[in-house]
Amino acid sequence: MKEETRAETLRVFIALAPPDDAKEELERELRPAYEAYPRMRWNRVEDWHITLAFLGEVPAATVPLLKPPLAELAAARRPLHLGLRGGGHFDERVLWSGIDGDLEGLHLLAAEVRALVEDSGVPFQGRPLNPHLTLARSRRADASSAVAAAAGLAGFAGRRWRTERLHLVGSNFGRGPGPIHYRDIEAWSFGGAG
């Protein structure tokens, strides 16, 4: 019965992804932390993203309802200019990089995405947007690692980049052992002048 339920639901979120060269720049900055804190669970670089709306586990049948309005929103929206900057931690266990640049535009885009989700009939009760890119998680017994790694990112200021696409993403979270992996269900290019 559990397998049948899993096939009927997807864990979904809507996000932006930094370009590869911006992620590589941050990855180079993180190399000393990779070596200093090997027990942390580091997210795969290709999975780094900025979540705009986390929908959680939703019926698979609702996902197609999101695609047309998300495509329309992306086509009408101008790209944002963002950057990765500094670092921090949540609850001394989750290491993140901060977001810099057009934060007003980012908050507006997130509000539009969240309204679209609700208008599509998908239940959504999101937390206020706290723009960040999750990098790693520490184990309870090793909580000081995230704090120390965040301090090592304090002076990091990555180059600015232009958002290219709006991503509807599925995750395998809770679907077996091993790290969390993400995959694009679909992505749409921003169409406005940027």
Q: Which CATH class is domain 2-188?
A: alpha beta
- Residue 123 contacts by C-beta under 8 Å, 6 or more apart in sequence? none
Tens digit of each residue's pLDDT (9 = 90 or more) over 17-42: 999 999 999 999 999 999 999 889 99
Whole-model pTM: value is: 0.88
Please give the mean pLDDT across all residues of the chain. Answer: 88
List the one residue out of 105, 98, 153, 159 whose CA is nearest residue 130.
98
Bridge partners (DSSP) of residue 54 are 13
Q: Give the pLDDT score at 7.
A: 56
| CA terminus-to-terminus distance, the chain | 48
Helix (H/G/I), strand (E/B), else coil: 102 = coil
Domain ranges of the chain: 2-188
* Residues 10 and 60: beta-carbon distance below 8 Å: yes
Bridge partners (DSSP) of residue 11 are 57, 171
**Residue 157 to residue 83: CA distance in whole angstroms:** 8
The pLDDT of 134-145, averaged and rounded, is 82
Q: Give the pLDDT score at 85.
A: 97
Spacing of C-alpha 159 from chain mean position:
19
What confidence category does residue 165 fall into, taking pLDDT thresholds of 50, 70 and 90? very high
**Comparison of pLDDT for 175 and 130, the residue scoring more:** 130
The alpha carbons of the chain give a radius of gyration, in whole angstroms, of 17
Report whether pLDDT(140) > 90: no
SS percent in the chain: helix, strand, coil, step 5: 40, 30, 30
Which of left, alpha, beta for 136 (phi over 0: left; psi -120 to 50: alpha)?
A: beta
Q: Give the pLDDT score at 177.
A: 47
Tens digit of each residue's pLDDT (9 = 90 or more) over 74-120: 999 999 999 999 999 998 889 999 999 999 999 999 999 999 999 98
